[in-house]
Amino acid sequence: MLNKKSIIAAIRRGFECSGMNALVSAGYSESVVEAYEKIIENR
């Protein structure tokens, strides 16, 4: 299992490469995406 830093790094790459809509369409729930977006913004 990936550690949290690896997961966050992968998600940050996902935001940079694909954007919100691609993540949502890839199967993430909107609430999860919003939560990760807040985590990323707060760093």
In this prediction, residue 12 carries a pLDDT of 75
Domain segments of the chain as ranges? 4-41
pLDDT tens per residue across span 1-43: 567 888 778 877 776 665 666 656 656 566 777 777 888 887 7
In this prediction, residue 25 carries a pLDDT of 63
Give this prediction's pTM.
Answer: 0.33
CB 30 within 8 A of CB 2: no
Specify the residue for token string 């790459």.
13
Angle at which helices 4-25 and 30-41 cross, to 10° = 130
In this prediction, residue 11 carries a pLDDT of 75
H-only helix segments in the chain: 4-25, 30-41
CB 15 within 8 A of CB 23: yes
In this prediction, residue 2 carries a pLDDT of 63
Q: Residue 29: enclosing H or E segment and its boundaries?
A: none
